[in-house]
Amino acid sequence: MKKPARRNASLAAAEVRVEPQLANAPMSDIIDALTAGRVNATALTKACLARIEAFDRAGPMLNAVRALNPDALAIAGKLDGTRPSAKRPLAGVPILLKDNIATGDGQPTTAGSLALEGARAKGDATLVKLLRKAGAVILGKANLTEFANILATDMPSGYSSLGGQVKNPYVPTLLDDRGIPVVDPGGSSSGSAVAVAAGLCAASIGTETSGSLLHPASRNGIVTVKPTVGLISRAGIVPIAHSQDTAGPMTRTVRDAALLLNVLAAKDPRDPATEGQKRPADYSADLTHDAMKGARIGVPSDPADPMNDPYYGKLPPDRTRLMADVIKVLEDLGAIIVRASMPAAGWMSGPGTTMAVLNRNPLSGNKGNPVAQRIVFLYELKHDLNLYLKDWATHTDIKTIADIVAFNEAHADKALRFGQDLFLAANNTRGDLSEREYKSARAMDLLAARTRGMDAYMNQHRLDAVLFPGATGAAIAARAGYPSVMVPGGFVSGADGKDTPDYPLGVSFAGRAWSEHKLLRLAYAFEQASCMRKPPPGLRAP
């Protein structure tokens, strides 16, 4: 009996000793520690909870975690005797979910809305089932921009009426007069990104319709994969628009993103978009330092065509210098840099793809004026959200988008700090996607962004990937339904004329449908050569 007692005492000591190193370690290192028995699921979960208490609830009060899973420690305890394996590759790994991803347990799924406070789901979203099957500990729900930033014009990134304001861990300062971040945390998967950057979890899951994975990953110095639409099932995710919605991993390294993608990428009869899915057996295979050699990387910035340069031409000087350094790294790795402007039709989109919506946000500098908004988003929102509320939502009287609008109006003092002009516009559509303007807008989105945009650009220049500063290329790739991989690119400072501490700027590699593995290989080569990720300062282990 003495030998097991000594082993348990040694393990307990090891758990305390390794926690500071694991707090900001790659998920792959955490998996290695679990596999070797240097730490167990309970110790990891307790360490995450301690960091959430120290830095999310106290200290800088990052507010990245909207709610904790009351069953997290019990789940971890059941996994203490299970080490990661091919069958359960994530056994014991604590993961946060964006609070628009359904769980069939005691956790509410609210999309950050007061109208859905307490609402639960009839079951786990498909991606949650896959995570649980792989052995992950679902730690809780991350805060987000309310309804994934489709409620109101000019709503601050990371704000929700139920969860409050998420802060950027590199610059957690708020403007005194309005409580809006000096440097926003990126949206709408802000809480998911901040939690990974601050070491509150091993990894997280976010969602994107257009930029909601890429933007917060860029602002928080982490890695994400915005997949091809259909690679990861959307069943059980509070939607914006099925044409572009997807979930994706948010991690500290490219390898970690590949490991999560191995678990999440699966066909699902509940999501028809997954029927045509194409994926390799292992996204983490062939991640090598020399993957960039000979790759043709498009830089959509032609000095001979300055009028057609929306991605690089308007960058501030520090970001221009950063991208020059990034391109130098790629050249040193053997990449062939192709400087050529993106076809204007691609990034401008086509006629009839936007509609004017009256900006009713009382805190917007443009309030009272019409603002162009995407037709596809507003028309699909009513259709898709009504289906989610009908098929997934429980423990709530809210059954339609009209119910949400009415609830918000009845509780305007708490629910409508920034208005709900986009929900008002969406609620005025038929909700059955029968309108000619919707069908035309969707067809034009594909024609402009895919056929005349990304496809034409990549075909003409025989490209392997397109390089964008930060999330500037999010819209064209998202409208095409194509993938992007974000990786830390460096640091910048300053916001709206104010001096700030340094904060991250990422770079994204975008490509054709189902090219995630190629993009991950290119991003890995850059990541290993540049080593640009640095944890937020001042967040040492509690």
State the catalytic residues: 98, 188, 212
Helix (H, G, I), strand (E, B) or coil at 498: strand
Instruction: Compute the residue count for the chain.
Output: 542
- Residue 258's contacts (CB-CB under 8 Å, 6 or more residues apart) are 282, 283, 284, 287, 520
What string of DSSP letters covers 101-150? B--SSSS---TT-GGGTT-EESS--HHHHHHHHTT-EEEEEE--SGGGTT
Beta bridge partner(s), residue 223? 251
- Residue 125's contacts (CB-CB under 8 Å, 6 or more residues apart) are 101, 102, 103, 233, 235, 236, 237
Indicate the DSSP class of residue 397. Answer: S
Beta-carbon count within 10 A of 370 CB: 12
Quote the CA–CA distance of 326 and 342 in Å, as a whole number.
Answer: 19
What does DSSP say about strands 246-251 and 164-165: parallel, antiparallel, or unpaired?
unpaired
Indicate the DSSP class of residue 496. Answer: T
Cβ pair 404, 132 in contact under 8 A: no
Quote the CA–CA distance of 379 and 376 in Å, as a whole number.
Answer: 5
Cβ pair 236, 124 in contact under 8 A: yes
| Tokens describing residue 221 | 């110095």
Side by side, the strands of the sheet bearing 203-208 are 65-68, 137-142, 94-98, 203-208, 246-251, 223-226, 484-492, 503-510, 465-469, 296-299, 336-339
Beta bridge partner(s), residue 168? none
Among the listed residues 451, 454, 506, the one whose alpha carbon sits nearest the alpha carbon of residue 475: 454
What does DSSP say about strands 296-299 and 465-469: parallel, antiparallel, or unpaired?
parallel
Quote the CA–CA distance of 292 and 497 in Å, as a whole number.
Answer: 37
